[in-house]
Amino acid sequence: MAAKLNQIIAVEKGTKSRTFQELTEAHHALQKPTLLSGISRTYRPKDEEGEQLPPESTRVQVKAEDIIRKTIETLTKLFDVTATKDWANCVAKADVVVDGKVLLAQVPATYLLFLEKQLVDLHTFVKKLPILDASESWNFDASADNWATEPVQTTRTKKVPRNHVKAEATEKHPAQVEVYYEDVIVGYWRTVKFSGSLPARRVNELLARVEKLQEAVKFAREEANSIEVTEQKLGEKVFNYLFA
| Residue 25 confidence (pLDDT) above 80 | yes
Q: Is residue 141 situated within a structural domain?
A: no
Lowest-confidence range among 28-42, 85-99, 111-125? 85-99
d(CA 208, CA 200): 12
Give one DSSP letter per residue of 158-187, joined into a string: EEEEEEEEEE---SSS--EEEEEEEEEEEE
The whole domain housing 124 covers 5-31+63-131+197-242
Q: Is residue 210 situated within a structural domain?
A: yes
Mean pLDDT over the full length of the chain = 87
d(CA 164, CA 30): 56
Average confidence (pLDDT) over 206-214: 96
SS3 234: coil
Q: Is residue 208 situated within a structural domain?
A: yes
| Residue 19 confidence (pLDDT) above 70 | yes
Count of positions (residues) in the chain: 244
> Long-range contacts made by residues 78-81, C-beta under 8 angstroms, separation at least 24?
78/12, 78/15, 78/16, 78/19, 78/118, 78/235, 79/118, 79/234, 79/235, 79/238, 80/231, 80/232, 80/233, 80/234, 80/235, 81/8, 81/11, 81/12, 81/15
Q: Compute the half-sphere exposure of residue 91: CA atoms within 13 Å on the CB side of its CA.
A: 1
The H or E element spanning position 95 is: strand 93-98
Q: Is residue 81 situated within a structural domain?
A: yes
pTM of the model as a whole:
0.55
Contact 64, 196 (CB under 8 A): yes
d(CA 105, CA 43): 59
What percent of the chain shows pLDDT beyond 70? 93
Count of domains forming the chain: 1
**Residues 98-138: pLDDT tens digits?**
999 999 999 887 888 899 999 999 999 999 999 999 999 99
Q: Is residue 90 situated within a structural domain?
A: yes
| Residue 90 confidence (pLDDT) above 80 | no
pLDDT at residue 3, rounded to an integer: 67
d(CA 33, CA 120): 24
d(CA 157, CA 134): 30
Average confidence (pLDDT) over 50-58: 90
Q: Is residue 80 situated within a structural domain?
A: yes
Cβ contacts of 197 within 8 Å, gap of 6 or more: 36, 64, 129, 130, 131, 132, 133, 147
What percent of the chain shows pLDDT beyond 90? 48
Q: Is residue 165 situated within a structural domain?
A: no
Model confidence at 226, pLDDT cuts 50, 70, 90, reads very low
The CA-atom distances, in angstroms, between 163 and each of 146, 174, 183 are 50, 15, 14
Q: Is residue 192 situated within a structural domain?
A: no
**Cβ count near 121 (within 10 Å):** 13
The CA-atom distances, in angstroms, between 177 and each of 16, 58, 159, 169 are 79, 46, 18, 10
| Residue 234 confidence (pLDDT) above 80 | yes
